[in-house]
Amino acid sequence: MTTTPLSYKDAGVDIDAGDALVERIKPLAKKTLREGVLAGIGGFGALFEVPKRYREPVLVSGTDGVGTKLKLAFEWNMHDTVGIDLVAMSVNDVLVQGAEPLFFLDYFACGKLDVDTAAAVVGGIARGCELSGCALIGGETAEMPGMYPPGEYDLAGFAVGAVEKSNILTGQNVQAGDVVLGLASSGVHSNGFSLVRKCIERAEAAGTLPSTLDGQPLRQAIMAPTRLYVKNVLAALALHPIKALAHITGGGLLENIPRVLPPGLAAHLQKGSWPQSELFAWLQATAGIDDTEMNRTFNNGIGMVVVVDAAYADATAATLRGHGETVYAIGRIAPQAGGAAVLVA
């Protein structure tokens, strides 16, 4: 009995497509090279030397994905910016402890590899790395037939940064009276998309889906990539005694700010101290949720929070604005048993 030979390609894995993707990725990764990279794309492991300007370097790592925002990327065929989201979710987290992101690795998994789609995604990853000053030093592309529906993929990644041991932001010196500065977000970023998708479905069913939001086509407004705060906040950290940072991700303002506060303190956020965009107003009205639920589901217009002594608040805000951030004074730190972040009238 003669058995017909089966190749890996017959089983659904195209090695040639994977090789073609690597060749497309190499020039993108090359644009992100920085001091410290010893060996990157192509090896079994990527090599990185911590820059010698650090005296007592502490490594800070963070990992994340993009979540169900990817479902809209598949549906709307918008793959060029979700890679920026992937990088931002990790490097903004690393930044919160005062660290400079050094390098990033990604994981792209799919059922059948489409080189053009994957190259668009990785192009976004490389762009995110370039904008945040970290090297895209390696990654993994996994083609797994039967694991994902046609046209779909998943993304994960992680960043490693460094901070001087003496400069680690712990939030432990935050005290009552400190000012809470909010840095504007670029939109929904990468959290709350399960509710965003429900709002789109509800509006489509009712025939009320807007064509534009905040002067942009609806899809572009909703898919706007997560803002990268790294370079601008590092510039402010070099000049001002910032006490704490909070990246506003899942759980919104109300769940994330308390993570960087000492016991017995709360952030009292002033209602109306920052504007609500047309996008967030539409989401709130369509979902029919109150202000509290809005601010614990979405960033609601504030993507990063800076806590600083009141004496340095104006100067810190001025530096951040000078580097391109939109900054609002959104509240104060106050004594409160149990700690929290609350909205006050």
Per-residue pLDDT tens for 126-140? 999 999 999 999 999
In a domain, residue 185? The reply is: yes
* Paired tokens of 265: 């303190």
In this structure, the answer to whether residues 146 and 212 fall within a common structural domain is no
In this structure, the answer to whether residues 189 and 328 fall within a common structural domain is yes
In a domain, residue 154? The reply is: yes
Q: Across residues 16-39, what is the average pLDDT?
A: 86
Q: Across residues 165-175, what is the average pLDDT?
A: 96
Q: At what angle do helices 115-132 and 82-95 cross, to 10 degrees?
A: 30
Dump pLDDT digits (tens) for 247-289: 999 999 999 999 999 999 999 999 999 999 999 999 999 999 9
d(C-alpha 195, C-alpha 293), whole Å:
12
Domain stops at, among 144, 167, 190: 167
Dump pLDDT digits (tens) for 213-246: 999 999 999 999 999 999 999 999 999 999 999 9
In a domain, residue 91? The reply is: yes
**Mean pLDDT over the full length of the chain:** 94
Give 204's contacts (C-beta < 8 A, 6+ positions apart): none
In this structure, the answer to whether residues 246 and 331 fall within a common structural domain is yes
Give the CATH number of the domain where residue 277 resides.
3.90.650.10
| Model pTM score | 0.94
pLDDT at 8 over 80: no
In this structure, the answer to whether residues 50 and 110 fall within a common structural domain is yes
pLDDT at 122 over 80: yes
d(C-alpha 169, C-alpha 140), whole Å:
32
In this structure, the answer to whether residues 119 and 139 fall within a common structural domain is yes
In a domain, residue 4? The reply is: no
Place of tokens 């990725």: 25
Per DSSP, the three-state class of 303 is: strand
In a domain, residue 202? The reply is: yes
Lowest mean pLDDT among 3-7, 190-194, 290-294: 3-7
In this structure, the answer to whether residues 123 and 198 fall within a common structural domain is no
Band the pLDDT of 303: cuts 50, 70, 90: very high
In this structure, the answer to whether residues 190 and 335 fall within a common structural domain is yes
In this structure, the answer to whether residues 145 and 22 fall within a common structural domain is yes
Dump pLDDT digits (tens) for 94-117: 999 999 999 999 999 999 999 999
In a domain, residue 231? The reply is: yes
- The whole domain housing 67 covers 15-167
In a domain, residue 121? The reply is: yes
Dump pLDDT digits (tens) for 198-211: 999 999 999 999 99
**What type of residue is 345?**
A
Per DSSP, the three-state class of 330 is: strand
Q: How many domains does the chain have?
A: 2
Say if CB 319 and CB 240 are below 8 A apart: yes
Lowest mean pLDDT among 15-29, 279-293, 303-317: 15-29
**What type of residue is 45?**
G
In this structure, the answer to whether residues 201 and 163 fall within a common structural domain is no
User: Which residue did the predictor score with more confidence, 167 or 31?
Assistant: 167
d(C-alpha 302, C-alpha 284), whole Å:
15
Instruction: List Cβ<8 Å contacts ≥24 apart for 123-126.
Output: 123/28, 123/80, 123/83, 124/79, 124/80, 124/81, 124/82, 124/83, 124/84, 124/85, 124/86, 124/87, 124/225, 125/83, 125/84, 125/86, 125/87, 125/157, 126/25, 126/28, 126/29, 126/31, 126/32, 126/83
Secondary structure (DSSP) of 60-105? EEEEEE-TTHHHHHHHHT--SSHHHHHHHHHHHHHHTTTPEEEEEE
Give the CATH number of the domain where residue 21 resides.
3.30.1330.10
In this structure, the answer to whether residues 81 and 225 fall within a common structural domain is no
